[in-house]
């Protein structure tokens, strides 16, 4: 029996490092993929060392090609390259980003009007720095949008569902656009703020429908369709454009 192993490494893409994992496992084929947190190589343990090196080389080339074909991958792993004075459009709002490099132990951010001040520690890697910028922007912009989103959730709930809601929250989330707990907590991804208003309404209605049906049964979809007959158009928009909705 061959023992499965996992090797953490990086793939160089135009001088930038993409996190990668190499799985050596019992399988009959080699597989390349891009996951949410990095590139993934899966290959059979029975390959010789020279064969493994060839596959790793092919993997590195494949990853570089994926990044050259899809700009969204570069944004996801390296960030959008914000600089002092950069602007960011979210919905119908425009923000000016001010960046200050500091010797603080951690990254910090605050928002005043349409100006977002990022105070970034120099004691961090560029990859972590870009990840932090994304989450800092998400957090402060969530503060700015939350009151309006809360009002819209209450409006749609009053129009179609009339169910008690415990809380409405905006959080950065890559795995889904929204969620609803059995206690009535509605969570929406801040990435949704880049979508058109009718698409945002669809996700809100989708989560509110879970207050009546905590699954995705035909009955659940009937509830969604009653509130928004053209909801399928919104799902198509998210599938086609969702990768562009990010900080």
Is the overall model pTM greater than 0.85, yes or no? no
Q: What pLDDT score does 62 carry?
A: 96
- CA–CA separation, 166 and 121 (whole Å): 37
Give CATH for domain 87-244.
3.30.2010.10
Average pLDDT per consecutive 10 residues, the chain (247 residues; last block may be shorter): 80 88 93 91 94 96 92 77 91 95 91 95 80 91 97 98 97 93 96 97 98 96 97 96 88
Q: What pLDDT score does 1 carry?
A: 52
Q: What pLDDT score does 77 carry?
A: 79
Q: What are the domain boundaries of the chain?
A: 5-77, 87-244
Q: Among 178, 176, 92, which residue's Cα sits nearest to residue 141?
A: 92
User: H or E element: which one contains 185?
Assistant: strand 185-189
Q: What pLDDT score does 2 carry?
A: 57
Is 127 strand, coil or helix?
A: helix
């Amino acid at each position: 029996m061959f023992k499965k192993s996992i090797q953490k490494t990086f793939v160089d893409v135009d001088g930038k490092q993409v996190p990668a994992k190499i799985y050596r496992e019992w399988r009959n084929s080699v597989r390349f993929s891009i996951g949410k947190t990095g590139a993934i190589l899966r290959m059979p343990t029975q390959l010789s060392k020279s064969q493994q090196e060839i596959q790793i080389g092919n993997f590195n080339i494949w990853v570089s090609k994926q990044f050259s074909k899809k700009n969204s991958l570069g944004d996801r792993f390296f960030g959008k390259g914000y600089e002092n004075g950069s602007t960011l459009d979210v919905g119908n709002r425009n923000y000016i980003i001010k960046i200050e490099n500091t010797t603080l132990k951690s990254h910090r951010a605050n928002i005043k009007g349409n100006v977002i001040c990022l105070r970034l520690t120099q004691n961090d890697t560029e990859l972590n720095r870009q990840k932090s910028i994304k989450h800092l922007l998400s957090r402060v912009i969530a503060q700015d949008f939350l009151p309006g989103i809360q009002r819209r959730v209450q409006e749609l709930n009053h129009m179609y569902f009339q169910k008690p809601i415990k809380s409405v929250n905006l959080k950065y989330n890559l795995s889904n656009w929204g969620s609803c707990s059995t206690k009535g907590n509605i969570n929406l991804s801040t990435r949704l703020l880049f979508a058109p208003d009718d698409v945002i309404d669809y996700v809100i209605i989708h989560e509110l429908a879970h207050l009546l049906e905590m699954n995705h049964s035909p009955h659940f979809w009937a509830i969604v369709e009653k509130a928004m007959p053209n909801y399928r158009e919104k799902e198509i928009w998210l599938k086609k454009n969702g990768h562009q909705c990010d900080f």
